[in-house]
Amino acid sequence: MTVTSFNPPLRTLMGPGPSDVHPRVLSALARPTIGHLDPQFVAMMDEMKGLLHHAFQTENPLTIPLSGPGSVGMETCFVNLIEPGDRVIVCQNGVFGGRMKENVERCGATAIMVEDDWGLPVDPGKVEDALKANPGVKAVAFVHAETSTGVQSDAALLCRLAQEHGALSIVDAVTSLGGTPVLTDEWGADAIYSGSQKCLSCVPGLSPVTLSRRAEDVIRGRNHKVQSWFMDLNLIMGYWGDSGASRSYHHTAPINALYALHESLIMLREEGVENAWKRHARMSKALVAGLSAIGLEMLVDETARLPQLNSVKIPEGVNEAEVRRRLLVDYDLEIGAGLGALAGKVWRIGLMGAGATPKNVTLCLGALQAVLTDMKADIGHGDAVQAAQKVLMA
Ligand SMILES: *Cc1c(COP(=O)(O)O)cnc(C)c1O
């Protein structure tokens, strides 16, 4: 058997992530590799922190990209802030809240669950009740943008409730960062982690995080060593450290991937993060108009719907996997399947970062309508693309 170079097809990525990576970001990836302690690389790292401050809307000194996917960001926040014997309120309204519970328990702590139905936001009233019933909890953890359902929760309110009860807040912003407002300082959030491959439209494998000074103090004052050597922020700070401070080797940074993230963050700053939020909202509005023109319904109520992740109910009697297969094969278009409790019930259409464009909205609607019509699905007779264009031209 001859093995040749792997040449992936050119797909349009409209699932729950990874999202389309802009050619500027891909070409940054191919620049020459230099040493991870090279002064020029270190200067780039300092710039990156400034760019992340803009993305996270924060001035937290501890704002860095971790070497690993969003799951590493999640685990890093938990293993550094939570110690054996702690109690943590974990809000679950989808898949990712369940992973938070798993993280808390693996830290030797107890998770106090606040559960909401999939498709609904976290209920702040239940969180407040849990805080009152459990004085002294260490933290409140929740997912800002639940990618499994397409729901956004009220992060400002949840962070404030945590603060009022003397608890830290741990926020999953993997899908929200760059797509909808993440206002770290305004919220008073203590630990927020994200991922490179959703609305930042970078290659997967990096996890930007930001931690408040209060969180830093908690980490420095721990009773037990962090259980993970690789994710111990006390050690990682020695490499990412304060500007100008000497850097010590911890692990070899994913140098080229960091070039790519630097480039995608420059693109976000050129556009302005507020404009990026507006663009995501506008594209989602157009997509939803198109979907409703052919009678397709959204899972999530407009008040809590994420623009970057649109969960669409699958029409009665449609072979949903066949629809996704045909979109992929005939249109090089990837949309997401339902996850967990929503498997087989919804499609998840991502409009993330560089993929949140009129071109992608119209491609997706046109392809979806054509495939569903060809499969004789019982859908409306409107024109999905035209309905979307009406919104885009408005
Ligand atoms: C994608 C995602 C993660 C996990 O990120 P990976 O990069 O896949 O590890 C965590 N939380 C949410 C809300 C996500 O959407």
CB–CB of 57/182 below 8 Å? yes
Strands 87-92 and 139-143: parallel
d(CA 284, CA 385): 13
Q: What percent of the chain has pLDDT over 90?
A: 95
- C-alpha angle 241/243/244, rounded to 5°? 105
324 Cα–ligand 1 center, Å: 21
Locate 376 and state its tokens.
């004789």
Instruction: State the Cα–Cα distance between residues 388 and 288, nearest whole angstrom.
Output: 8
Q: How far apart are CA 389 and CA 359, in angstroms?
A: 10
Q: What is the predicted pLDDT for the residue at 240?
A: 83
Q: How far is the CA of 39 from the centre of ligand 1 (A)?
A: 32
Ligand 1 centroid to Cα of residue 145, in Å, is 10
Best probe residue, ligand 1, of 67, 96, 201, 309 (max atoms within 8 Å of C-beta): 96
Question: Is residue 17 within 6 Å of ligand 1 at its C-beta?
Answer: yes
Model pLDDT, residue 238: 83
**Residue 163 identity (one-letter amino acid):** Q
Looking at residue 244, its pLDDT comes to: 55
- Structure tokens that stand for 22 in this block: 């802009």
Give the E-state strand segments of 53-137 in sequence order.
62-67, 87-92, 110-115
Distance 275 CA to ligand 1 centre (A): 24
Confidence of residue 247 (pLDDT cuts 50, 70, 90): confident
Tokens coding 279: 């663009």
**How far apart (Å, rounded) are the C-alpha atoms in residues 210 and 172?**
11
Name the nearest CA neighbour of 151 among 352, 341, 357, 299.
299
The answer, yes or no, to whether any atom of ligand 1 lies below 6 A from the CB of 96, is yes
Please tell me the distance between residue 205's alpha carbon and the centre of ligand 1 in angstroms.
11
Residue 226: is its pLDDT beyond 90?
A: yes
Q: What is the mean pLDDT of residues 35-45?
A: 94
Q: How would you classify the pairing of strands 346-350 and 333-337?
A: antiparallel
Residue 270 CB neighbours (<10 A): 8
Instruction: Evaluate: CB of 380 within 6 angstroms of ligand 1.
Output: no
DSSP state of 6: -
Say yes or no: CB of residue 190 within 6 Å of ligand 1. Answer: no
Q: Is 348 annotated as a binding residue?
A: yes
Q: Rounded distance, CA 152 to CA 339, Å? A: 17
Instruction: Indicate the SS3 state at residue 315.
Output: coil
Cα 385 to ligand 1 centroid, rounded to whole Å = 30
Q: What is the pLDDT at residue 101?
A: 98
Q: Which ligand 1 atom minimizes the distance to the CA of 71? A: 9
Q: What is the mean pLDDT of the chain?
A: 96
Predicted confidence band at 219 (pLDDT cuts at 50, 70, 90)?
very high
Q: Please give the structure tokens belonging to residue 180.
A: 């909808």
- 121 ligand 1 Cβ < 6 A: no
pLDDT of 165 strictly over 90: yes
Is the C-beta atom of 147 inside 6 A of ligand 1? Answer: yes
Nearest CA to ligand 1 atom 14: 174
pTM of the model: 0.97
Report the pLDDT value the prediction gives residue 248, as an integer from 0 to 100.
83
Q: Residue 69: CB within 6 Å of ligand 1?
A: yes
**Side-chain-facing half-sphere of 192: CA atoms under 13 Å:** 30
Non-local (6+) Cβ contacts of 212 within 8 A are 60, 184, 188, 189, 190, 191
For 251-271, the pLDDT digits (tens) are 999 999 999 999 999 999 999
Q: If we measure between CA atoms, which residue out of 93, 2, 70 comes closest to residue 304? A: 93
Please tell me the distance from the alpha carbon of residue 111 to that of residue 182, in angstroms, as a whole number: 25
pLDDT at 91: 98
Q: Could you tell me if 248 and 239 are in contact, meaning their C-beta atoms sit under 8 angstroms apart?
A: yes
- Name the residue of 13, 66, 71, 180 whose CB sits within 8 Å of the most ligand 1 atoms, as the mutation to test its pocket: 71
Rounded Cα gap, residues 178 and 55, in angstroms: 6
| Interacting residues of 373 by C-beta distance below 8 A, sequence separation 6+ | 379
Nearest atom in ligand 1 to the alpha carbon of residue 143 is 13
Q: How far is the CA of 117 from the centre of ligand 1 (A)?
A: 20
Q: Across-strand partners of 321? A: none
Which of 369, 347, 340, 338 is CA-nearest to residue 297? 347
Find the 174 Cα to ligand 1 centroid distance in Å: 6
Burial class (CB in 10 A: 0-12, 13-18, 19+), 45: buried
Q: What is the dihedral of CA 358, 364, 366, 368, to 10 degrees?
A: -160
Task: Name the closest-CA residue to atom 3, ligand 1.
Answer: 70
Tens of pLDDT, residue by residue over 286-301, are 999 999 999 999 999 9
Nearest atom within ligand 1 for CA of residue 175: 15
Q: Which atom of ligand 1 is nearest to the CA of 198?
A: 1
For the segment 159-164, the average pLDDT, to the nearest whole number, is 98
- Residue 201 CB neighbours (<10 A): 27
The per-residue pLDDT for 74 is: 98
Residue 241 has pLDDT above 80, yes or no: no
| CA 198/CA 179 separation, integer angstroms | 9
Going from the Cα of 123 to the center of ligand 1, the distance in angstroms, rounded, reads: 22
* Residue located nearest, by CA, to atom 5 of ligand 1: 70
pLDDT, position 364: 98
pLDDT, tens only, 314-365:
999 999 999 999 999 999 999 999 998 899 999 999 999 999 999 999 999 9
* Domains, in order of start, for the chain: 23-270 (3.40.640.10), 273-392 (3.90.1150.10)
